[in-house]
Amino acid sequence: MDQIFAQIMEYIRATWRYRWYSLAAAWIVAVLGWAWVYELPDQFEASARVYVDTQSLLAPLLKDLAVRPQVAQQLDMMTRTLFSRPNLEEVARRADLDLSAKTPAALEKVINGLSADIKLTSAGRSNLYSLSYQSPKPQLAQKVVQAALNMFVESSLGSTRKDLSTSRQFIDQQVSVYRQKLHEMEDRIAKFKREHSGMIPGQNESDYYGQLQQAHEQLQQAKLELEEAVRRRDSYEGRLQGTEPVLLGTPIPDTGMGGSSPTELDSRIATLVQNLDQLRLRYTAQHPDVVATERVLAELKAQRRREPRRRNAPSGSVNGGSVGNEDSYLQQLQFALAEAESEVASLQARVNEYQQRYEKLKAAVDTIPAVQVQYKALTRDYNVVQGNYQKLLESRQKATLSGDIESNTKTVDFRVVDPPHVPSTPAGPNRALLSSGVFLAALGVGVGAAFLFGQLRPMIMSRQTLERVSDRPFLGAISLSETPQMLRARRVGLTAYALASGTLLVAFGSLTTFYLIG
């Protein structure tokens, strides 16, 4: 620790030995620096304040109908990108700064100066911004601030409209793409239906296994009805084959023909004609029910042509009445048998039809389910694409409405609180502060110069230094006895040094006071 302290003291003594060099260097740096500060041109600051009102009465009214831009986000982005090169070039053109730039290097210097000198800051409250610029020319500073202010307003508004236009173009492209997809999928579904006709269930129909169960039930019901019709026909055949002549008063089987009077025969023919018309509306001419009904109708018409005009001829004998009753009975049985055979034929055709349907569905046990799965996949994909298409149409409508709102109304209102103005007094440079800096720099240069001379021209100032340099032991020292003339010279030197240093300090204080008072 003692060695460090001794070393520091040695440095101080060496520096003090060259104090006049130090003072001279300080005076030179101070005079030159203060002259430079004095010659600096005055800087006039133009400033403006603008308030951005983002509150709109349309916002709650059009909450779900239109897309509202994020104004706060856009303003934040605008404040960050205002000093981009394209914007600065536009500001330079509007302020006529590009006229003085004859070369690309000069224009680059102008743009760099604008980037460094234009300041956009928040003015202490939300959405209130302050824009400022300093220049030696007051009119130029005002023009630059006005141009930057216009760029700030126009860029904020234009970016929203540009974003809406770009979004609308993108949505229109997507709508066209999805419309084409819908047409392609509709054609694919239509082609699939044509290729697999009869295998695809309708909207309200059951699936394949439900159709198979229904066909099986219909087949069983038709077989049961056919068996009943066959038994009824066999009963009529047996009664017809086993019939013998009967006497008058023998009961006649009820076949629905009564006495087969002309009125009853015509009524049956009319009923069959009505039934035939209804069957022709439902089936084709080759359907078994239509064929059977036509055959029975032809037989009834033939019977009406063969039947004599007068059926109740006078006989007066029992045998004659018995023969007439027997003929009527046989005739009724024949007609009942014909109707039963017609019903059997119709039911047999129905059974065959249901049997074919059932066998066809049963044979397609591996085909129809796969077809139905493919059809459901097609319709599912179609529904997804159609849903996205509808959403795109809604988004396009919102984008169109938002663009109309942006074009015809003010979603963001820029209010210039303080227009660009330039005070009569310059805003800079701060000469008092710069003079203080020059003074501190002069002191540093003076001390540094003295220290440098002390290191370049060293002297032995202590016993320790002598022992270290000579590498010999220290035996003793002889002190210097100063004469009165030497003491007087030392006092004069110290006084002169103090006066010179004080003069430098007084000069600094006077200059600083002058700059502060103005």
pLDDT digits (tens, 9 = 90+) for 59-81: 554 555 545 555 555 556 666 66
Nearest CA among 60, 55, 57 for reference residue 72:
55
The CA distance from 316 to 249, in Å, is 15
Pick the CATH number of 41-199+368-428 from 3.90.1660.10, 3.30.930.10, 3.30.1890.10, 1.10.10.10: 3.30.1890.10
- Local structure of residue 97 (DSSP, 8 states): G
What string of pLDDT tens digits covers the 518 residues of the chain? 676 776 777 778 778 888 898 999 999 999 999 999 989 888 888 999 888 766 554 455 455 554 555 555 555 666 666 778 888 888 888 888 888 888 888 889 888 888 888 888 876 666 788 889 988 888 888 899 998 888 877 765 555 555 667 777 888 888 889 889 889 988 888 888 887 766 665 543 456 677 778 888 888 888 888 888 888 888 777 777 764 443 333 344 444 444 444 456 777 777 777 777 777 777 777 777 777 788 887 877 777 776 644 344 444 444 444 445 556 767 777 787 788 888 888 888 888 888 888 887 777 666 766 777 888 888 888 899 889 888 888 888 777 776 665 555 555 667 788 888 888 888 878 888 999 999 999 999 999 988 888 878 777 666 666 667 667 776 666 676 778 888 888 889 889 989 999 999 999 999 899 888 86
Nearest CA among 403, 518, 309 for reference residue 68:
403
Helices within 58-101 (DSSP H only): 58-61, 71-81, 85-94
The CA distance from 259 to 270, in Å, is 17
Name the helix (H) or strand (E) containing 508. Answer: helix 484-517
Q: What is the pLDDT of residues 212-257, one digit of tens each?
A: 788 888 888 888 888 888 888 887 777 777 644 433 333 444 444 4
Q: Where in the chain is the domain with CATH 3.30.1890.10?
A: 41-199+368-428
Q: What are the CA-CA distances from residue 510 to residues 35, 436, 471, 474, 497 (Å)?
A: 14, 11, 53, 52, 20
- Local structure of residue 98 (DSSP, 8 states): G
Cβ-based neighbour number of residue 514 at 10 Å: 13
Residue 251, judged by CB atoms within 10 A of its CB (0-12, 13-18, 19+), counts as exposed
Q: Pseudo-torsion of CA 483, 484, 489, 493, nearest 10°? A: 100
Provide the pLDDT for residue 64: 54
The CA distance from 429 to 41, in Å, is 8
Nearest CA among 341, 347, 354 for reference residue 224:
347
∠ CA 113-118-123, rounded to 5°: 165
Q: Pseudo-torsion of CA 344, 347, 349, 351, nearest 10°? A: -130
